[in-house]
C-alpha cells in the first residue's frame, strides 16, 4: 500500500478543504508514491516521535498539529522544527497533518471532546462561513432526473440532516443556433422554443469541479447553461467548537473536578464562580478565546477551551464559567480517534498510536 492510499483515507476522515486558511495541513514531508511500511499517529511530530517511527518501522507519521506551520527559509537543525524535519528526511519518513481540517469536522476534535465529557444534543458552536455555493442549471424535462441524480451523487444537495435536496421550476426556453452549432433539439439557424426545468442545488465549495463534471457528463445540451453563486449562509455541520448538554446538571466546582478527571488535566484556570448549575457546556479544543462571545450567545453555562490570556477571563462577563483546561489536554483524545478510524478503514496494516507525550506544558 502506498502512502497516497493512506492519505485518501485521511482526507475522507478530515477533508483538507475544511481547514482554516491560515493552517498548513496535508502532506508536509515525503513522497506520496512511496510504499508505506506502517503508520505512527501522534499529537506533535517532534524529533523524538520521528525516532519512535524509525524504531517501529513506520515511514508515515500522521500528526494533529503541523510541525511546519509558518514558512521557513533554511533547514539547519537550529530549532525543534528543523531538527524534526531533518530527521524525517534522513530516514525517509513522511509527515501528514490534519489540524483544523479535523477541528472543523462535525465528528472531529470537538465532538471527541464532547464525547469524553458525556455531552449530548451537540451542535457546532462557530459554523463555517463562505463555504456554501449554489448551482443553477436548465434542461428539458426528460433529462432532469439524470442531471439531478448525477449532481447528488457528486455531493450536491445536502442540507444538514437531509440529502438529495433541490428546487425545481418549470418554464420555457428559446434559442437559435448559428452555423457552427449542433443542437440536440431543434435546428441550427432557426428559433426554437420549448419546455425546460430549472434545477437549483447547494453544495460545499470544494466539490465544485466534481459537480460540474457530473453536470456536463449527464446533460444532453451541446452548450450547458449554468450559474454558480457564493452564499452567505453558515454551514451548520462544519465549524469550530461545539455545544452540548449534560443529562444531569452539577455544581460549578464539581463540574471542574469532573472535567479535570475526564480530560486528565493537571490544572485548570477558571473565571469566578457564579453560583449557578452547569448543564449546557460549550467546548473548543486548542486556542478558543475568539469563541467566548459565541458560547455566551449560545446560552452556555460554561465554556471549556485553552490558551486564555489574563484579560480574556473578564470576557466571561459574569454570564458563564470560563475555564482553560490546557491546550494538549483539550485535544488529548484526538490521536486515539485517528488511530481507531484508520484501523477500521485499513485492515491488516500497522497503525500505531505513539507512546510519546509531546505536551510541552508541565505543572508543579
Q: Kindly write down the DSSP assignment for every residue of 140-159, as one continuous string.
A: -HHHHHHHHHHHHHTT-S-B
CA distance 241 to 127: 9
Pairing of β 269-270 and β 192-204: unpaired
Judge whether 283 and 242 are in contact, CB under 8 Å: yes
pLDDT at residue 152, as a whole number? 98
**Distance between CA atoms of residues 151 and 149, nearest Å:** 5
Instruction: Give the CA distances from residue 99 to residues 66, 278, 301, 353, in Å, rounded to whole numbers and listed in that order.
Output: 7, 29, 27, 17
Residues 6+ apart with CB under 8 A from 236: 123, 124, 127, 160
pTM of this prediction?
Answer: 0.90
All three cell numbers of 345? 478503514
Task: Pull the grid cell for residue 273.
Answer: 464562580
Residue 143 CA to residue 137 CA, distance in Å, equals 12
Q: Smallest Cα–Cα separation from 137: which of 178, 193, 185, 196?
A: 196
pLDDT confidence of residue 187? 87
Please report which confidence band the pLDDT of residue 160 belongs to, taking 50, 70 and 90 as the band edges: confident
Pairing of strands 94-97, 26-29: antiparallel
Does residue 188 register a pLDDT over 90? no
| pLDDT recorded at residue 261 | 98
pLDDT at 80 over 90: yes
Q: What 8-state DSSP symbol labels residue 74?
A: -
The residue assigned the cell 451523487 is 153
Burial class (CB in 10 A: 0-12, 13-18, 19+), 316: buried
Confidence bin at 70 (pLDDT 50/70/90): confident
**What contacts 78, CB < 8 A, 6 or more positions away?**
none
pLDDT score for 185:
86
Answer yes or no: is pLDDT of 306 > 90.
yes
* C-alpha to C-alpha distance for 244 and 236, rounded to whole angstroms: 15
The answer on pLDDT for 357 being more than 90 is yes
DSSP-derived letter for residue 311 is G
Average pLDDT taken over every residue of the chain: 96
Using one digit for the tens of pLDDT, what is the confidence trace for 318-350?
999 999 999 999 999 999 999 999 999 999 999
Mean pLDDT of 72-92: 95
Which pLDDT does position 49 carry in this prediction? 98
- Enter the DSSP assignment of 315: G
Amino acid at each position: 500500500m502506498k502512502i497516497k492510499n493512506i492519505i485518501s483515507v485521511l482526507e475522507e476522515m478530515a477533508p483538507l478543504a475544511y481547514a482554516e486558511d491560515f493552517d498548513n495541513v496535508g502532506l508536509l514531508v515525503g513522497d506520496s508514491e512511496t510504499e508505506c511500511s506502517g503508520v505512527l499517529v501522534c499529537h506533535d511530530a517532534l524529533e523524538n516521535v520521528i525516532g519512535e517511527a524509525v524504531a517501529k518501522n513506520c515511514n508515515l507519521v500522521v500528526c494533529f498539529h503541523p510541525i511546519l506551520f509558518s514558512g521557513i527559509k533554511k533547514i539547519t537543525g537550529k530549532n525543534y522544527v528543523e531538527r524534526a524535519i531533518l530527521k524525517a528526511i534522513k530516514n525517509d519518513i513522511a509527515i501528514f497533518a490534519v489540524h483544523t481540517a479535523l477541528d472543523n469536522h462535525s465528528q472531529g476534535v470537538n465532538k471527541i471532546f464532547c464525547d469524553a465529557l458525556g455531552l449530548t444534543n451537540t451542535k457546532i458552536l462557530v459554523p463555517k462561513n463562505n463555504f456554501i455555493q449554489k448551482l443553477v442549471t436548465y434542461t428539458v424535462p426528460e433529462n432532469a432526473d439524470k442531471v439531478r441524480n448525477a449532481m447528488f451523487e457528486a455531493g450536491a444537495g445536502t442540507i444538514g440532516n437531509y440529502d438529495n435536496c433541490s428546487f425545481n421550476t418549470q418554464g420555457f426556453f428559446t434559442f437559435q443556433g448559428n452555423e457552427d452549432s449542433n443542437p440536440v433539439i431543434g435546428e441550427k439557424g432557426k428559433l426554437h422554443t420549448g419546455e425546460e426545468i430549472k434545477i437549483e442545488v447547494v453544495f460545499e465549495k470544494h466539490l465544485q469541479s466534481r459537480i460540474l463534471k457530473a453536470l456536463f457528463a449527464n446533460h444532453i445540451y451541446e452548450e450547458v447553461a449554468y450559474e454558480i453563486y457564493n452564499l452567505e449562509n453558515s454551514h451548520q455541520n462544519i465549524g469550530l467548537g461545539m455545544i452540548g448538554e449534560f443529562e444531569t446538571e452539577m455544581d460549578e466546582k464539581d463540574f471542574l473536578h469532573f472535567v479535570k478527571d475526564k480530560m486528565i488535566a493537571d490544572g485548570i484556570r477558571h473565571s469566578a464562580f457564579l453560583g449557578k448549575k452547569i448543564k449546557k457546556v460549550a467546548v473548543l479544543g486548542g486556542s478558543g478565546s475568539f469563541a467566548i462571545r459565541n458560547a455566551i450567545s449560545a446560552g452556555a453555562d460554561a465554556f471549556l477551551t485553552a490558551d486564555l490570556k489574563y484579560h480574556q477571563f473578564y470576557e466571561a462577563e459574569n454570564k458563564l464559567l470560563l475555564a482553560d483546561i490546557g491546550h494538549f489536554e483539550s485535544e488529548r483524545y484526538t490521536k486515539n480517534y485517528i488511530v481507531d478510524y484508520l484501523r477500521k478503514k485499513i485492515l491488516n496494516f500497522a497503525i500505531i498510536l505513539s507512546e510519546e507525550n509531546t505536551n510541552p506544558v508541565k505543572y508543579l
